[in-house]
A and B are shown apart, each in its own frame.
Chain A
Amino acid sequence: MTIMKAVRQDLSEAQRIGELHAASQASGPAGAAHPVIQVLSANKIFPNGTQALDAVDLNVRQGEFLSLIGPSGCGKSTLLKMIANLIEPTDGRILWWNGGPGRIGSEGSRLAFVFQDPTLMPWARVDANVRLALDLERKATSMSDTDVAARIHAALDQVGLTKFARSYPRELSGGMRMRVSIARALIDQPDLLLMDEPFGALDEFTRNKLDLDLVRLSWERRLTTLFVTHSIYEAVFLSTRIIVMAANPGRIHSQLVIDEPQPRDEDFRGSPRFAQLCRDLSRMLTEASNAGSPQV
């Protein structure tokens, strides 16, 4: 039984990747691939009266790397948390794989969230921290120990931390802890990866290195990623599409499609095209900040 199931899962996995290839070939990264998430005129007013978001419409498409960037207070984190179903919109709605929040976690529609902090359990070793994702999904109980161990190993391997499986989080550097957090997100084979300024607290060198790893990972795994960032360079380097948001109230200002070949590498970071795109994005951000405060 279990073998049959596993085979079927593998098949659907293969089909999905196949579809993805077809979609990205047919329409390019900005084309009309399957919408994974549809945000339909969602707005959010917090109980204290702050309007965090005003009628936001957004589609996240299968296979794209979409970044949200904007001045602080533009609601980009709020939007991300809404999509993660951590907060509810005051008005409007969100569709996950054309369904309600009940679709999250069902077959072929898994969410993984990487927070700004690694949010690891300090009392548990790295492998146990990664395993938590399986434990909470109640998958570990239906899998054999060797399968679980293999999954943990594979997840740690993707972030280059297999040697540190038995370490405690406090023994790792900030960048390594963040990698563990990413491994915990990847072990569940998510269909959508949500990241909330994951590398914001790291130094630039570590951040660049992790960005490079993320580019490789999302290409290899054909991940659909929604990424919140403050950094223009990071957004341009990683994304296939960037949404620029404006504040007071939070809303979508404009978007920038980065139609560059994948997977990107250090050469792209040094290219004149990269510099040009950063300048464009910077200009858009300035416009968005100016538009954001009409009362001043």
Chain B
Amino acid sequence: MQDPRKFNPKTLPLIQQEWFQRVAAPVVVGATLLIVWQAACHFLQIPVYLFPAPTDIAHSLVTHAGLLFQSLKITLLVTLQAFALATLLGCLTAFLIIQSRFAEIGLFPFVVLLQVTPIVAIAPLIIILVKSTSLSLVICATLVALFPIISNTITGLRSVDPGLVSYFRMKRAGRLETLMRLQIPSALPFFLAGLRISSGLALIGAIVGEFVAGTGGQSAGLAYQILQSGFQLDIPLMFAALVLIAGLGIAMFFVMSALTHALLGHWHESAMKEQR
């Protein structure tokens, strides 16, 4: 017999279970929007070349699947390379900056300069200077993704419990030991928040870079497909490429959230499930 005082969430009807609500609510909202969109296109007779219905976009996605997924692969590759590079450079810069006052006042203005200069303005220069187009795209995306990682990691490395700092100092822990055992774990929540922002920015950087570079042929990414379909007034294809870009961004966000949860779930407030 079951103890009535013990509350077991698994015995609730499906509709009241939390995971179901989490999945169902966005699905319902999304489906409603799609139906309204489809109905509006159908009844108002909006031409496909102005605003395609969801079914037109799906159709285009299927017919151009080969082309689109090839482009997706290229955009994904640029984004991931840039993201990895930004993470590496960002961490190194942050470690350097917190080590000495001189490094901080020397480097930080340039970090800010990097952040405030719009990428569209520097992208043509980079594309001219760097011979390989794919490398220049990676550089553009890295520049966009770098700042949140640097700034968050610095904040994180600095927000160490002062009591623990005193404890480490009393135990005469060296710089490296303090960094590894104290500062890096303390910085992790901030660093991961920076990564989550930067993962999206790396994608934006990759797309913007490609818009400027306008690479076609074998190395055409999703941005090129958008440009190209715009020229040809193939608006469903444009939307299809857009769907893939958005999907890529969402996927990266989910991966970063899962990583955050895996690393912080057991100790940091930001990643813990709400206790009710």
A residues with CB within 8 A of B:
84-86, 105, 111, 113, 115-117, 119, 121-124, 132-133, 135-137, 168-170
Interface string of B167-185 (1 = CB under 8 A from A): 1111111000100011001
Query: Are A86 and B268 also in contact (CB < 8 A) when A121-B182, A137-B171 are?
Result: no
* A113, A117, A121, A170 — most chain B CB neighbours (10 Å): A121
- Pick from B72-80, B158-166, B200-208 the stretch touching chain A: B158-166
Would A117 and B267 count as touching, CB distance under 8 A?
A: no
Query: Are A86 and B267 also in contact (CB < 8 A) when A132-B181, A136-B171, A136-B173 are?
Result: no
Would A115 and B163 count as touching, CB distance under 8 A?
A: yes
B266 close to chain A: CB less than 8 A: yes
Query: Are A122 and B267 also in contact (CB < 8 A) when A136-B171, A136-B177 are?
Result: yes
B89 close to chain A: CB less than 8 A: no
B188 close to chain A: CB less than 8 A: yes
User: Once bound together, how far apart are the Cα atoms of A135 and B181, in whole Å?
Assistant: 10
Number of A-B contacts (CB under 8 A): 46
User: Once bound together, how far apart are the Cα atoms of A53 and B67, in whole Å?
Assistant: 77
Cβ of A116: which chain B residues have Cβ within 8 Å of it? 163
Would A123 and B170 count as touching, CB distance under 8 A?
A: no
How many whole Å from A192's CB to the nearest CB in chain B?
Answer: 12
Q: Taking CB as reference atom, which chain B residue is nearest A116?
A: B163
Query: Are A170 and B168 also in contact (CB < 8 A) when A119-B163, A123-B185, A132-B181 are?
Result: no
Would B170 and A84 count as touching, CB distance under 8 A?
A: yes
Cβ of A105: which chain B residues have Cβ within 8 Å of it? 172
Query: Are A168 and B163 also in contact (CB < 8 A) when A85-B170, A121-B185 are?
Result: no
A and B contact pairs by CB, cutoff 8 A, 5 listed: A117-B161, A119-B161, A124-B185, A136-B168, A136-B172
Would A86 and B171 count as touching, CB distance under 8 A?
A: no
How many whole Å from A26's CB to the nearest CB in chain B?
Answer: 33
User: Once bound together, how far apart are the Cα atoms of A86 and B168, in whole Å?
Assistant: 10
How many whole Å from B67's CB to the nearest CB in chain A?
Answer: 46
Query: Are A86 and B169 also in contact (CB < 8 A) when A136-B177, A168-B267 are?
Result: yes
Cβ of B171: which chain A residues have Cβ within 8 Å of it? 133, 136-137
Interface of A is mostly: loop
User: Once bound together, how far apart are the Cα atoms of A113 and B168, in whole Å?
Assistant: 11
* Chain B, interface residues (CB within 8 Å), range: 10 to 19
Query: Are A170 and B267 also in contact (CB < 8 A) when A121-B185, A123-B188 are?
Result: yes
* B166, B181, B182 — most chain A CB neighbours (10 Å): B166
User: Once bound together, how far apart are the Cα atoms of A137 and B266, in whole Å?
Assistant: 27
Cβ of B172: which chain A residues have Cβ within 8 Å of it? 105, 136
Cβ of B168: which chain A residues have Cβ within 8 Å of it? 136
Cβ of A132: which chain B residues have Cβ within 8 Å of it? 181
Would A117 and B163 count as touching, CB distance under 8 A?
A: yes
Would B167 and A123 count as touching, CB distance under 8 A?
A: no
User: Once bound together, how far apart are the Cα atoms of A80 and B159, in whole Å?
Assistant: 25
How many whole Å from B6's CB to the nearest CB in chain A?
Answer: 21
Cβ of A169: which chain B residues have Cβ within 8 Å of it? 267
Cβ of A121: which chain B residues have Cβ within 8 Å of it? 164, 182, 185
How many whole Å from B156's CB to the nearest CB in chain A?
Answer: 12
Q: Taking CB as reference atom, which chain A residue is nearest B163?
A: A119
User: Once bound together, how far apart are the Cα atoms of A84 and B171, in whole Å?
Assistant: 10
Query: Are A86 and B166 also in contact (CB < 8 A) when A123-B188, A168-B266, A168-B267 are?
Result: yes
User: Once bound together, how far apart are the Cα atoms of A170 and B265, in whole Å?
Assistant: 12
How many whole Å from A101's CB to the nearest CB in chain B?
Answer: 10
User: Once bound together, how far apart are the Cα atoms of A126 and B247, in whole Å?
Assistant: 41
Cβ of B182: which chain A residues have Cβ within 8 Å of it? 121
Would B167 and A111 count as touching, CB distance under 8 A?
A: no
Cβ of A137: which chain B residues have Cβ within 8 Å of it? 171
Q: Taking CB as reference atom, which chain A residue is nearest B167?
A: A119
Would A86 and B170 count as touching, CB distance under 8 A?
A: yes
Q: Taking CB as reference atom, which chain A residue is nearest B171?
A: A136
How many whole Å from B266's CB to the nearest CB in chain A?
Answer: 6
Cβ of B185: which chain A residues have Cβ within 8 Å of it? 121, 123-124
* A86, A119, A169, A170 — most chain B CB neighbours (10 Å): A119
How many whole Å from B96's CB to the nearest CB in chain A?
Answer: 24
Cβ of A111: which chain B residues have Cβ within 8 Å of it? 170
Cβ of B177: which chain A residues have Cβ within 8 Å of it? 136
User: Once bound together, how far apart are the Cα atoms of A169 and B266, in whole Å?
Assistant: 10
Cβ of A124: which chain B residues have Cβ within 8 Å of it? 185
How many whole Å from B264's CB to the nearest CB in chain A?
Answer: 8
Q: Taking CB as reference atom, which chain A residue is nearest B165?
A: A119
CB-CB nearest 6 A-B residue pairs: A119-B163, A136-B171, A123-B267, A115-B163, A123-B185, A122-B267
User: Once bound together, how far apart are the Cα atoms of A111 and B181, in whole Å?
Assistant: 21
User: Once bound together, how far apart are the Cα atoms of A214 and B68, in whole Å?
Assistant: 70
Cβ of A119: which chain B residues have Cβ within 8 Å of it? 161, 163-164, 166-167
Cβ of B266: which chain A residues have Cβ within 8 Å of it? 123, 168
Interface string of B31-65 (1 = CB under 8 A from A): 00000000000000000000000000000000000
